[in-house]
Structures are given as structure tokens and as C-alpha cells.
Structure 1
């Protein structure tokens, strides 16, 4: 192989390892990558250096896979010994060497970061895990990556972090993907916050979710919007706040949410959704004569 495709040897080795993985030959795949990792041909070019780093990353990912297998076997066994623990830890150390180096090379490394953090979390190295996740999410040399903020948020949530830190993690995700499913959790956190201005932020977050057709019939999102408006109505300027948020939407939101077709569809398929939406029509679009009809509910009244 080395003589027939010298220039492409590293990528051929990587593809060969993928083939071995598909047939569950994990150890053989690792040996293939280990051989490629140590291979050199002439003066190392920048492209060859990058390919070598990729080989190292995937070899470490295989160490992680083997580590997972050992961990599963260990946890399901009634007999434990220090040798098994040491073998697991050896694979962890082997994987960590290159997985730690990944953050020195800007790029999208999602599966590698997740694998590394899982092992760090298992060994309760929370300081290093948080450093890895924060660097991956906030290092400006990396391309914008919504998943990086999702991983950070999920880790913080697993470890009972303060709501303020959870909101910080979701704030950037909102900038990158305002339609992300976690925006419902973000708006709920903002709703529960006593910090001035967070309630209006919650309103903006939920309305942005509803700007996307994928959330149009989601009862949880509409219920969250209703809860936000109910709390907002305790403030003197609540009408101005809502009008300001809806100013850029009044020309197209009714067609997205409040037509007679939507009313008929919701009344048949989701009466509870129809009731919630009907109670919000006059609040969100007070100057428009909407054709959204909800049986038994007068628009603008809470039920």
C-alpha cells in the first residue's frame, strides 16, 4: 500500500480502519491507525501534518471505544479487580493524550470532545471537563458551533449548576440557532428569573421560536408564551412591551398562525392548543380582525 499510494497512504489507512470498524474489528482498526500515525515520508508538509493529526484523533477515538467496552464489561461483572481498573485507565490515558491536543487545532470536533468529556466525567475530573467544554464553546479561533454550547449546557445541567450559568450557556446558542429546542428551556429559565429585563428576554426568545414553522403547533411553546404574558401583565407597560416585540411581525404572523385554516385544523386536532392561541390573538395582534376561531373561547380572555 505504501508503494502504490505514497501520497495518499494516510487517508487510505483511515478509510481502511473505517472498513474494519464496520466489521467490528476494533483492535485491527486501531493497529492500522497506530501504524499510520508513526509513518513518515520525506519532509512533512502542512497537509501531511494535518492528516497525521486526524489519524491521531481517530486512533484516540478507538481507545475511547475500547474504554467504553471495558467499562461496560466491568460494570456488569460481579467480580472486580484492580487489574481491570488499571486496564481501563490505560486506555483513558492513551485516548486523552491526543484528544486533549484537539483543542489546539480549530475545527468541529464534536464526537471527540464528547468522548473526552465522558471519560473525564467518569473519573470526576470536573475542572478539566469544564475547561475543555468552555474552550470549545468560547474560543474565537474555532468556527461558530451550536453543538459546543449544547454540550456545555448539558454538562452544567447534569451537575446542578446555578440557573445564571445555565442561561449564559444558552444565550449564545440562542444567537446561533433561535429555533433550537433548548430555547424552550432558556425561556423557562428567564421566566423564573427575578432579574430585571429577563422577562422581556423570555418573551423575545419564545416569539422567535414561533417565527419558525416547526414550532407552529407546539403546545408547550404556546403555553410558555401565555405564562410569560400573564406575568408580564403585572407590569404597567406590558402592552408597550408586546407591541414593540410584535411590530415587525404584524404583517406576516397572522398568516403563519392565525388564519381560519389554522383555527379549523387546531380545533379538530388539538383543541387545547386552539384554546391557548385564541386567548392570545387580541393581545398579540390587537388591531387586526383575525379569522382564527376557537369554539367556546372569546379572543383575548384567559381560561
Structure 2
């Protein structure tokens, strides 16, 4: 709908350009020009507008009005006439018209109660051959629609055809889109491989079936491996490739792929990259030192991640005293986020950390340093009478844990949490 509005605005500007000179002349004759902002009309009829353009503009307005009010049958009826705009050779907006027909057509089909897969195929094939500039992106979107409806083999055929498509001198944009198509085609190879793996595990398969399954692995792995040469966020592709590598017991290659995905500085920061690497390392019994290194990087990106509990637990298990202080900071930072403030496990971790910290002589100063930036707002976040009432009703165990930490975390504050303050007479 935004695309439609932008296009209508472009039409308004283009059609009103011819009247600009006469408008300027008349405003000069009238003396001072008005400074009041004027509302730009959605449709402007000009003296030089042809009948063809006038009818096309009116048709587009009617389509827009029908779509805004979800009258999809009416929009579809008008849409049967609007593609005639593609025959217009009098201006340089043909590419915009093509994309508009493509976008509006698929949007109407998506909402029309009687649309069929054949209707989608017709409009996609029509738009593919209406011009070469958007051919690859239309092919990719077409395959997405087929995948969404479970037609994986058809989607793969469309992507395979697009993968081998070339036009003129290959541009950088065309090369990038081709790589994207290759990646999604490989993802479909993985999907077929995964289905065969499932049937293989439930049935007694012959060697020929295993060979066919391995062929899909080889086809998928070529382009999935190639993805790591192109910086980006490739989560589903990486996971698919790693799953296949692990199935064939290629643990070293799987680990290399995940390490590169997480620690290659040319890739954008991605919390999931560290999550996948951590899960892989943990599955294969990696030492604590490696697990801590991965979670340290995840902590920098997402300090509220649920794995921070495991990170603090690993730090507590280590022998370094400094790690206990790190664990304290991690759990306190988790409790800075509202999503964790009623989680009893996090508060128990905090209690355990402080209990272990109390074996050191300067533990009070350590806690005080960590709480220095929080002392003005933490009580209002965690230790009010409202919190006490709520915790008492919903989770008495949480109330007990929090109450035991008040004097340690906020020693210079008298807080109405857990117990009512004593009166002077008492």
C-alpha cells in the first residue's frame, strides 16, 4: 500500500509539472505569495493529460480505495484493466509501472478468498517476462510463495532455472541476487535431504537410497559453504549446513563453520552465531574455558539473554576469584531488565554468588561498587511494598530470597519490602 501511495504521488508531481509556470505567473500577479501549507490532492487533472492517462489514474485510485476498505473482489476487477498502463511508452516510468502491477497483483491475490495457486503462477510468470531488471527477485519471491504452500519441488525447479539465467554483462547486483538464489536452492536441497534422512531412520533403506541422500548433501553443501564468503546474517543456512556435517560425523568442519560465523569480524554482530556455537560445543563436551569465551561475547551483545545464567554458573565453578565478581555483575545486569525481575532462579543465583563472595574480606566493598550506579533506582524497581505484596501472593519463595538480600544490596536504605517498618513505640 505504501508503494501504491508513492506511485500516486509521483503521478501527481509528473502531471502537475506542466502547470507550474502558469501557477507561478498568477501568484506573482496577486502580490505576496501565501505561506500557508496546502494539502496535496491525491489526484490532479491537468489540461495536458491524455484520456489514457486519465483513465489509468482513475483506475489506480479505485484499486487503492478498494484495497483500503478490503474489497478484494472489487480491487481484482479493476486490476484486470490496470495492466494496460504497461503499454504506455510516452514517459520513463515503465519500470515503476511493472513493479506496481506486480506488487498490487500479488497483494490482491494474497487477500482474495478465491485466489488459487494457478492465479499466483500466472501473475508471477507474466511479470518475469515483462522485463529483465527484476527477473531474479520475482523468481525468488515466487519460490517463497511455493515453499510457503509446501510445493518444495516446484520451488526448487524455479530457483534452478533462475540460477542459470543470465542477461547481458553480469552486474554486481545481478551477481549478488544469483548468489542469494543459489543459497535458497541449496536450502531446498537440504530440506529434501532432511526428509530422506527422516525416512531413512524409520525404514530399512537400500544403498541406492543412501547414495541419493548423499547426492543432495553434496549439492546443498557447495553453496551453503560458499555463504561464509559473503558477510551477512545467514542463520538458517548455517544451521542446515552444520546439521548435515554432524550427520556425516564431520565435527571439525562443523566447528570451523560455526567459529567463522561467530568470530569473523567482517560479519555483522549476531547473537545467534554465539548461541549456535555454544550449543555445538556443549553437545560435544567442550572444556569450560571455551564455553566461557563464547558466552562472554554473547553477554556483550545481549546481557539479558537466558544463557547468562549458565554463564554466571560457569564462572562460579572456576577457581578464579575475579570470576565471582564477574558473575555478580552479570546477574545484577540481568535483574536490571524487567523480564527477569520476578524470576526466582536469577535471584537464587544472586544469593549464591553473594554467599560465595562473603568468604572474601572485602566482599562488602565489592557489592557496594557493583550497586553504586543502581542504588538510586533499584529499590523502586525491586523493593517496594507493591512488589512485596505481589511476590507474597504469586511466589512466596521469591519474597523470601529477595528479603534476605535487601540489607546486603541496599544497606543505607530503609525499604518497605517483606516486613512493615517498626513504629517508634515498638
TM-score interval (norm. to shorter): over 0.9
> Aligned to 2:263, which of 138, 141, 144?
138
Preserved contact between residue 71 and residue 88 of structure 1 (Cα < 8 Å): yes
2:205 corresponds to: 80
Q: Deviations over 1:142-187 (max 9, x none)?
A: 0000000000001101111111111111000000000001101101
Provide the secondary structure at the position in 2 that maps to 1:141: coil
1:210 corresponds to: 335
TM (normalized to structure 1)?
Answer: 0.95
1:261 corresponds to: 386
Matched, 1:49 2:171: no
Cα RMSD after superposing both structures:
1.0
Structure having greater relative contact order (Cα 8 Å, sep ≥ 6): 1
Q: How far did residue 28 of structure 1 move?
A: 1.0
Mapping for residues 84-163 of structure 1, pairs under 5 Å: 84-163=209-288
Cα separation, 2, equivalents of 1:253 and 1:83? 65
TM (normalized to structure 2)?
Answer: 0.68
Structure ID, larger Rg: 2
Q: How far did residue 13 of structure 1 move?
A: 0.6
Provide the secondary structure at the position in 2 that maps to 1:208: helix
Provide the secondary structure at the position in 2 that maps to 1:7: coil
> Aligned to 1:226, which of 351, 354, 367?
351
Q: How far did residue 25 of structure 1 move?
A: 1.3
Matched, 1:284 2:413: no
Q: How far did residue 50 of structure 1 move?
A: 0.7
Where structure 1 has 5 or more consecutive residues not aligned to the other structure, the ranges are: 296-303
Cα separation, 2, equivalents of 1:134 and 1:281? 42
Cα separation, 2, equivalents of 1:251 and 1:83? 70
Cα separation, 2, equivalents of 1:168 and 1:81? 44
Preserved contact between residue 275 and residue 294 of structure 1 (Cα < 8 Å): no
Q: How far did residue 294 of structure 1 move?
A: 4.8
> Aligned to 1:167, which of 275, 292, 305?
292
Cα separation, 1, equivalents of 2:251 and 2:200? 22
Q: Deviations over 1:19-40 (max 9, x none)?
A: 2112211111111100000100
1:61 corresponds to: 187
> Aligned to 1:71, which of 190, 197, 200?
197
Q: How far did residue 88 of structure 1 move?
A: 1.0
Q: How far did residue 227 of structure 1 move?
A: 0.4
Q: Deviations over 1:208-232 (max 9, x none)?
A: 1000000000010000000000000
Q: Structure 1 segments of 4 or more deviating over 4 A?
A: none
Q: How far did residue 18 of structure 1 move?
A: 1.2
Cα separation, 2, equivalents of 1:141 and 1:288? 48
Cα separation, 1, equivalents of 2:175 and 2:315? 46
Q: What count of residue pairs does the alignment treat as equivalent?
A: 294
Q: How far did residue 5 of structure 1 move?
A: 2.8
1:192 corresponds to: 317
Matched, 1:201 2:336: no
Cα separation, 2, equivalents of 1:228 and 1:290? 23
2:71 corresponds to: none
Q: Deviations over 1:266-302 (max 9, x none)?
A: 011100000000000000010011111259xxxxxxx
Q: Deviations over 1:86-124 (max 9, x none)?
A: 111111110000000001000000110111111111111
Cα separation, 1, equivalents of 2:142 and 2:233? 23
Where structure 2 has 5 or more consecutive residues not aligned to the other structure, the ranges are: 1-124, 421-426
Preserved contact between residue 274 and residue 294 of structure 1 (Cα < 8 Å): no
